[in-house]
Chain A
């Protein structure tokens, strides 16, 4: 089994009676390897949510195909396995919490997978641990902060032991601290568990640490590559986007002839470079 998600000519048109069809995605070809950390950006209505929901079959392409580790999302018989392989975290933490106690919320997905009670227990404990919620396990989710709620949403998906984690603007309702905690948790998961992260965001400094950035524009993949290249590309501005401050700093330093590593796009990288 090859570990990757592949979109082949994936196209999505929304049709509603009485209004003209909306083309949300247009012939998208993409391949996301297992273990990759991918940031996805683009203006409003560029098709990000549509693409994200296609990755685990919540939305099926009108034309083209989506393969998850070789399994076609349109194949009903594979639905269970695809849902398990590709976990989803949504924007609003409050609308995805189903259970009244943190621990039970985390258990929900594992309970749905027909596992033994001991295995459910083991996975719940593990997920609570890696998302830093072990101390809050008996709390009511309403008592958590926004950042804790989103980490709860992550933990609630981790119990399925997915290979890919798709997050649709998970930080947009969080404050500075909450965003930091969540991103940190995601980076740890990516490095330690080799979990692929596909994260949508409107904040460039959040996707800058990713290995790869995909820019969507009017339903097509407009740019795709390492952050530094994507931020520097003239097409990035054409897609209506602005690089994060550090990338801009690196660029102007380069233009003024300073010998600086042109891959620097995050504050951490800049600090490390300057201290060397």
Chain B
């Protein structure tokens, strides 16, 4: 569907706000279903969605376990002598946290349907200063670069005969801490070179800037934006009230 990036941004913000406010697994599950339906409308298929969410699975499982154990509750499922370990309330709290995270990450997939450039353009046309929009989008762009750089350094270590899988956790932490410097340093060099390249191309030479392309809100965008805001508002009011 050809929506203005701003409409998609609003949708992501609405869904994320609801996810933060809803506090029961049932509600969040409903929200997750709605989000998935939206993603299908934007022609994502299950495989792609699963692939996108996969890196978060471990984190979510970890959160679920931690929340389940540390949330106090009366209806105990598992106890170690007098100490209650897992309660129904705990499991529900864990499920809430995980579902919330799932909804937000799934909604954020909508961001991948437009370029960072459209993101800038959208914000600028809503009167956000160009520099700020540019900075935000560049920061977003640097995240994958950061990951690549980390991968490079890890490869370099493995090439020197270290088998990362066999390194115990404690040592691994020390190693990662040592890696921070080269990774950050290399990224700073990259950032510096990028800054020079931008400066050489008259970045911020004039306060005014022309844009090759213009984003135009279509009627469907207005409908989507208004509807999203309205529905979110009503849902929040009903949930709180």
Contacts and interface: CB of A to CB of B under 8 A. Distances in A.
B108 to A, nearest CB: 18
B201 A114 contact: no
Q: How extensive is the interface on chain B, given as a class?
A: 20 to 34
Nearest to A156: B201
Nearest to B194: A95
Given A83-B205, A111-B212, A157-B200, 6 more contacts: A83-B201, A98-B198, A104-B213, A111-B211, A112-B204, A114-B205
B210 A115 contact: yes
Given A95-B193, A98-B197, A100-B116, A80 B205 contact: yes
Contact of B115 (A100, A116, A156): A100
A107 B201 CA distance: 10
A56 interface: yes
B196 A90 contact: yes
Interface centre among A56, A95, A107 (most CB of B within 10 A): A95
A109 B117 contact: no
A120 B212 contact: yes
Interface in A94-148: 95-96, 98-101, 103-104, 107-117, 120-121, 124
Interface string B52-95: 00000000000000000000000000000000000000000000
Per CB-CB distance, the 7 closest pairs between chain A and chain B, nearest first, are A96-B197, A109-B201, A95-B193, A114-B206, A107-B212, A88-B200, A112-B202
Interface in B186-237: 190, 193-194, 196-206, 208-214
Nearest to B137: A100
Interface of A: 56, 58, 79-80, 83-84, 87-88, 90, 92, 95-96, 98-101, 103-104, 107-117, 120-121, 124, 156-157, 160
Contacts of B205: 79-80, 83-84, 112-114
Given A90-B196, A104-B117, A124 B212 contact: yes
Given A87-B200, A95-B197, A112 B116 contact: no
| Interface residues of chain B: helix, strand, loop or mixed (majority) | loop
B175 to A, nearest CB: 27
B201 A101 contact: no
Contacts of B197: 88, 90, 95-96, 98
Given A90-B193, A99-B117, A101-B115, A160 B208 contact: no
Contact of B200 (A56, A100, A110, A121): A56
Contacts of A124: 212
A35 B204 CA distance: 28
Interface centre among B115, B209, B212, B213 (most CB of A within 10 A): B212
Given A111-B211, A120-B210, A58 B117 contact: no
A267 B167 CA distance: 56
Given A90-B193, A96-B197, A104-B117, A160 B202 contact: yes
Interface centre among B193, B202, B206, B212 (most CB of A within 10 A): B202
Contacts of A103: 212
Contacts of B202: 80, 83-84, 109, 112-113, 160
B210 A114 contact: yes
Contacts of B199: 58, 83
